[in-house]
Structure 1
Amino acid sequence: MKPLKVLIADDDQNVCEILGLYLRENHFTVIEANNGTKAMSVFQSEKPDIILLDIMMPEMDGLEVCKEIRKNSTVPIIMLTAKDEEFDRVLGLEIGADDYVTKPFSPREVIARIKAIFRRLPALEKTSSDDGEKYNFQRFSISVNQREVLVNNKKLFFRPKEFDLLLYLVRHPNVVLTREQLLEHVWGFDYAGEMRTVDVHVKRIRDEFAQHEIHCIQTVWGVGYQFQPKEEE
């Protein structure tokens, strides 16, 4: 099996060297970039399988790089941040990061996060190949096979994890699902992130649907979320 290629984008050479060492020892191929502009160039030329992206970098910061990459790619991105404010963590998730770790961190933790992301991918591929699974509602439809959500034959834009979250809610109509349940079943048992992750992804889904005045995911305060298909009838 071909080794996974990891792009480390960080202007701290010590971070690049230490992470690179541990990654190579764990049979990853490593490429590096020390500023945001170079990170974009290396991403486009090398096509990495996953990106470790520092937020504070010269020329283009990590948030800008993440936004640019997310315009046409779903490559997994783990943000590296020295900041501990919730605003930074949530903003990273809102613009499309899959996970984040706060400095100082253990290289073992970063590798565990990488492996956790790729352990989930086979399950997602299996879900997306279920023949003929489709959900039709009055205002929209979901095709599992194509991983598409259509409103009046127009495709809505959902990132992979947003689609997975929506699909899990749809498969459990009118059931109140806690954030813990959603994290466990959508992100996996070994996900090391926080409950706020669910809220951020639900907000994205709602914002996309709201453009078409669809309001099918309800908040159950103090508990979690509920998909109500009758909202569209």
Structure 2
Amino acid sequence: MQTSRILVIDDDHDLCALLDDYLSAEGFTIEAVHDGALGATRACTENYDLVVLDVMLPGLNGFEVLRKIRAGSAVPVVMLTARGEEVDRIVGLELGADDYLPKPFNPRELVARIRAIQRRSATQQKNETAPEAVLAVGDLTLDPGRRAVLQGGQELPLTSVEFSVLEVLMTQAGRVVSREELCSQALGRQLNSYDRSIDVHISSLRRKLGPAKDGSERLKSVRGVGYIYLRPTVAESL
């Protein structure tokens, strides 16, 4: 089996050494850089399976690095944020990070997040070789094989995780999907306490999709349960 190659972008040399020891023992090949600009260049020009990116970097901060990466690469990115700084997590996810982990963290948790992203990537590759049926709800069409979403014939710029969340909701349109189920199916991991990543992705999807043709909401939150992608009314579908 080919070893996964991971780039760690963090100016904390001790943490990078710890992650090198721990992740190497888990079968990953680790390369670390301590400068944001160099990290962005390496992530876009070399073949990595995943990037671990710290928000607090000198000079070019983690958000700026993520913008540069997303402008030239779809490599999965896990962001490391300061504990309690929820705004950092929200901004990171909105900019295209696949997941986040607040510092300090248990290396086991990082491995779990990486494995979850790997499972999701494997599922995506499987869909590309044996694509599932195209989903259509109202004016929205989702093509699992192409990983594309069209609204009124125009393709929407969704992140990989946003696509996965929307796919789960459209597959079960008209039914409430719990946050736990969304986290399991779309993110490939269990929902942790105080984890708001699903809610951030839903918020971003609402903004990108906009309201339905009749002005009603497409994605409805069900308090204490989860979310539902509403099927259009008969009048709207005509």
Q: TM-score, normalised by structure 2?
A: 0.87
RMSD: 2.3
Cα distance change on mapping 1:140 and 1:189 into 2, 3 Å: closer
Please give the secondary structure, in 1, of the residue aligned with 2:84: coil
2:40 aligns to what?
40
Equivalent residue for 1:227? 229
Aligned residues, how many? 233
Q: CA deviation at 1:82?
A: 3.2
Per mean C-alpha deviation after superposition, the further-off stretch among 150-159 and 223-232 is: 223-232
Q: Report if the CA contact (8 A) 1:178-1:223 is conserved.
A: yes
User: Residue type of the partner of 2:218?
Assistant: C
Q: Which residue of 2 aligns with 1:25?
A: 25
Range with bigger deviation, 220-229 or 61-70 = 220-229
1:86–1:188 CA distance, 2 compared to 1 (3 A): same
Distance change (3 Å), C-alpha of 1:57 and 1:195 = closer
| TM-score after normalising by structure 1 | 0.88
CA distance in 2, matches of 1:163, 1:128: 14
Counterpart of 1:86, as a letter, is E
Q: Where does structure 2 lack aligned partners over 5 or more consecutive residues? A: none
CA distance in 2, matches of 1:31, 1:212: 46
| Alignment match, 1:182 | 182
What letter is aligned with 1:51?
Answer: V
Change (3 A) 1:111 1:220: closer
Please tell me the residue identity of whatever aligns with 2:139.
R
Q: AA paired with 1:100?
A: Y
* 1:68-97 C-alpha deviation (Å, 9 max, x unpaired): 212342211111223422222222222222
Contact 2:120-2:187 at 8 Å conserved across structures: yes
Query: Which one of the candidate residues 196, 211, 219 is aligned to 1:217?
Result: 219
Q: Which moved more, 1:223-232 or 1:46-55?
A: 223-232
Cα distance, 1:152 vs. partner?
A: 3.0
Listed one character per residue, the Cα deviations across residues 30-73 of structure 1 (whole Å, up to 9, x for unaligned) are 21211211111221332311111111111111111112212342
Please name the residue that 1:119 is paired with: 119
Q: Among all aligned residue pairs of Structure 1 and Structure 2, give the percentage whose two residues are the same amino acid.
A: 34
Residue identity matched to 1:181: E
Q: 2 CA distance for matches of 1:230 and 1:211?
A: 11
Matched, 1:170 2:170: yes
| Distance in 2, Cα, partners of 1:230 & 1:10 | 47
1:173-221 alpha-carbon deviations (Å, 9 max, x no partner): 2111221221122223445575411111111211111288674222223
| Residues 1:82 and 1:173: Cα distance change in structure 2 (over 3 Å) | closer
What CA distance in whole angstroms lies between the structure 2 residues aligned with 1:22 and 1:107?
Answer: 7
Query: Quick check: 139-148 or 190-199, which moved more?
Result: 190-199
Shift of 1:130: 4.4
Distance in 1 (alpha carbons) for counterparts of 2:97 and 2:154: 25
The alpha-carbon distance between structure 1 residues 72 and 136, as it changes in their structure 2 partners (threshold 3 A), is same
